[in-house]
Structure 1
Amino acid sequence: MSVELGEPRMISAPRTVVARVPGSKSIMARALLIAALAEGTTRLVAPLAAADTVAFAEGLDSLGFRVTREPDVWAVTGDPTGPPAPEATVWCHDSGTAARFVPALAALGLGRYVIDASAQMRARPMGPLLTALRGLGVRVDAAPGNGLPWVVHGSRLAGGAIEVDAAVSSQYLSALCLSAPAMRDGLKVQAPNPVSAPYVHLTLTMMRQFGVESSWDGSTITIPPGIYQAQEYRIEPDASTASYFFAAAAVTGNTVTVPGLGRRSSQGDLRFATEVLPTMGCRVDVDDDSVTVTGPPRLRSPGTVAMRDISDTMMTLAAIAPFADAPTRITDVGNCRVKESDRIDAITTALTACGVSTRSGPDWLEIDPGTPTGALVQTRSDHRIAMSMSVAGLRTPGIEFDEPSCVGKTFPQFHQEFAALARAWDLPSGGTRNSV
């Protein structure tokens, strides 16, 4: 099955649509782990119910934590000492966040914990986390090449001082920080110049919201022993997912408002709207609890954009770059080659299939202006390929996807919501339609 995006038309005056974006995957994953180590029962309001977060919740259940999932609230009863189960097998599916966070959590337990995942996740790098855990005295049996499956022999991890290579993924660093309060000696971790640093800031901010303080001098994070305090915690919308709706307004000259995000948000990917889109001629209004983007009559090129800190929105920018008035160059995104797919290759291949001229290197890509044409896009089972190219599809009739269902990883209703967006803006097709 594929999804074909119908041909739009530019409208004479901007039309405002309110887009309902689901909860943040990054916030949800951190909240689940914190709740597992908290004293009491934490209620997560407006939870993200998607493949990645369900995998994480099921993993916590396997480790012996009590997790109940209702449509509007997920509840987790924590144990500040670590996993209650003496042994468990945790299946992380395609979730990189679960696969990186769970081993550090399992090390706090007292038993044998098998952690495994899909073939896609097995191929992603895990070595720096393995090195760090072993450096803290944790016995971990790993597959050849240091990838999953792992067997973590939990022994009430004591903590201490460690250095972490977070140049490929900040998740290694966040995983250790989130589990650090339950370590007897706390944790002092050196990680100079981590990639996607805003995600580390998000981790420390959420830890503080649950009662655990930390310090970060730019290269060393220090976290003393402590206990998270259970609470009712609302999951704010996902800034990475919101980027597709902001970009949709940008390429169609319309206006979209995403409620629930605003100037108080700790999500770094909101910078796509607040920093990148204004350089392309968009008007961006940020309030306490909403962000509104209005697209210009014609997009300007942002020139060269370094996206190391907001690399999950790299493909969003790449997808709208053909509609700009000059080439767009995206730099410092080498970590995108080891995500769910090689995202630099995946997005340039998709754009090339649509007739767009691109160039790329180890950590950069460049996109020329042009008029994309319809084509079958190979998603490589990567949700962000499908969602990014859906934005291009608002200006390109005939774009189809080989695996449209891959959006279920973070936003199962994405295609329906994008179709509603197109209808609200009076685009002729009314959005997406399925075809076999």
Structure 2
Amino acid sequence: MSAVSSAEGTARAVLSARVPGSKSLTNRALLLAAAAVGTSRIRRPLVSEDTLAFRDALNVLGVPVESGPSDAYWEVTGAGGGPVVSGARLWCADAGTAARFLPPFAATGKGVFDFDASGQLRARPQLPLFEALSGIGADIASAPGGTLPARIRADGLDGGEIAVDSSMSSQYLSGLLMAAPLTRDGLLLRTARPVSRPYVDMTVALMRRFGARVTEGGDGSFAVAPGGYTATDIDIEPDASTASYVLAAAAVTGRTVRVPVLGAGSLQGDVRFVEVLERAGARVRLDRDAVEVTGTGRLRGGFAVDMGDLSDTFMTFAAIAPLADAPVTISGIGHARVKESDRIGAVAANLRAMGVEVAEGEDWITVHPGRPRAARIACHRDHRIAMAFSVLGLAVPGTVTLDDPRCVAKTFPGFHAELRRLFPQHELPYGIRDMTKEHR
């Protein structure tokens, strides 16, 4: 696509962003390949702290995961069921997907499986998942309140019918769904309006690709037949949540940024983040095999948007919202308070530290127009807070400082270097110039 005339010069050059693979797709594909009969090749996987923790856990469970040259692909040799080993100690690190997807998988095996994680992940809720697993015969002992650490004494799962509370996280439902074909009798899962529904749709689509039989009922139920999975090769798309940062940066800087491969046919609901940017005045082009955003020199506000289905990107928009010409309210995001951090509270506090007027409620935040000033950003070890405020830093005079710039390694180890490559003419947050060398 040519979007540049000679008169416009390089100011309108299309910047092609290098966005790594989707964490959500990578870890789901890892689990399904581990449960399948045969060897699956996962091409262009995300290589980050979360996916490496997941891969390492599968190795501990007796499922070999081999890396191709430069991690261009991972090959997973599944045994056609649950864990190969009869018991293991598993470290989930900071990976919520590991903590929610691996316990149901372990429960379909035999033996004693101990799960633990970082202090940050220990604080995140697990009770709805553990209660649902107990309802179909799993023997689980956990820390008070249903958090990690936890022990599962596994003897396979018969299956049956259960209800799962997915109001805090769709990962509970996804974890149970992916384990369902490994039960003896299959599983009927009932849930009422899960948050982040696009992630559940992603799970079901991938399960079907690996050969599972899943039927969705009009009442919000999912019927999954027994029978396991078949090995399948899969290409991992760029991460749509991660793409939100470079696309928002285009809107902030007036440049044009294109993310190849991530297009209209994506399995990831967060590709719809560009609709929010378009509503705020950016020009958006969503093709079959790419997405492109062009900043127009101003951001529009004066509207409310429900980002409940796009909650991993609400911080991206909230961080740049002070640059809009009227207040913006983002709602439907209450479950974001129990992620890596209280994300609503963290965004509000950091914006206030930058001199921006903010109001917040249990599941909403309103950001008023302002002139953000340079400040030290409290990342709370949350990669999405660090990346979102890095984008705002492109438009703030002076240097915005991140107190934990390295936390981006959870999903995008090369983030700072990529931001620097795309926008070398802009002042970047903290000392990102110093970190660029680490990720070359």
What is the TM-score normalised by the length of structure 1? 0.94
SS in 2 for 1:434: helix
Note closer, same or farther for the CA distance 1:428–1:381 as it changes in structure 2 (3 Å cut). Answer: closer
Alpha carbons 1:279, 1:302 under 8 Å: kept:
no
CA distance in 2, matches of 1:302, 1:280: 9
Structure 2's unaligned 5+ residue stretches are 1-8, 436-440
Deviation at 1:227, TM superposition (A): 2.6
CA distance in 1, matches of 2:195, 2:105: 22
Deviation at 1:140, TM superposition (A): 0.4
Runs of 4+ in 1 over 4 A off after TM superposition: 428-431
**CA deviations over 1:65-117 (Å, ceiling 9, x no partner):** 11112311111111222101011000000011100101000001110000110
1:398 aligns with 2:399: yes
Bigger drift between 381-390 and 231-240 goes to: 231-240
Alpha carbons 2:399, 2:427 under 8 Å: kept:
no
SS in 1 for 2:53: helix
Note closer, same or farther for the CA distance 1:302–1:209 as it changes in structure 2 (3 Å cut). Answer: farther
Q: Who is 1:8 aligned against?
A: none
Deviation at 1:149, TM superposition (A): 0.7
Q: Who is 1:42 aligned against?
A: 40
Equivalent residues in 2 for 1:201-216, closer than 5 Å = 201-216=201-216
Equivalent residues in 2 for 1:289-304, closer than 5 Å = 289-301=289-301, 303-304=303-304
SS in 1 for 2:316: helix
Equivalent residues in 2 for 1:235-250, closer than 5 Å = 235-250=236-251
Give, as a single letter, the amino acid of the residue that structure 2 aligns with 1:20.
Answer: R
Structure 1's unaligned 5+ residue stretches are 1-10
Deviation at 1:340, TM superposition (A): 0.1
Q: Who is 1:33 aligned against?
A: 31
CA distance in 2, matches of 1:122, 1:420: 36
**CA deviations over 1:27-64 (Å, ceiling 9, x no partner):** 01100100000110111111111000000011111111
CA distance in 2, matches of 1:433, 1:13: 22
Deviation at 1:12, TM superposition (A): 9.4
CA distance in 2, matches of 1:202, 1:68: 25
Alpha carbons 1:280, 1:302 under 8 Å: kept:
no
Deviation at 1:146, TM superposition (A): 1.0
Equivalent residues in 2 for 1:174-213, closer than 5 Å = 174-213=174-213
Give the structure, 1 or 2, with the largest relative contact order (CA under 8 Å, sep 6 or more). 1
Alpha carbons 2:329, 2:364 under 8 Å: kept:
yes
**CA deviations over 1:174-210 (Å, ceiling 9, x no partner):** 0000111111111100011000000000000111111
CA distance in 1, matches of 2:98, 2:386: 22
Deviation at 1:432, TM superposition (A): 3.2
CA distance in 2, matches of 1:271, 1:286: 9
1:252 aligns with 2:250: no
CA distance in 1, matches of 2:287, 2:298: 25
CA distance in 2, matches of 1:154, 1:182: 13
Q: Who is 2:128 aligned against?
A: 128
Between Structure 1 and Structure 2, how many residues are aligned? 422
Bigger drift between 247-256 and 205-214 goes to: 205-214
Deviation at 1:262, TM superposition (A): 0.6
Q: Who is 1:143 aligned against?
A: 143
What is the identity percentage for the equivalent residue pairs of Structure 1 and Structure 2? 50
CA distance in 2, matches of 1:265, 1:429: 30
Give, as a single letter, the amino acid of the residue that structure 2 aligns with 1:208.
Answer: R
CA distance in 2, matches of 1:307, 1:89: 37
Pairwise CA RMSD of aligned residues?
A: 1.5
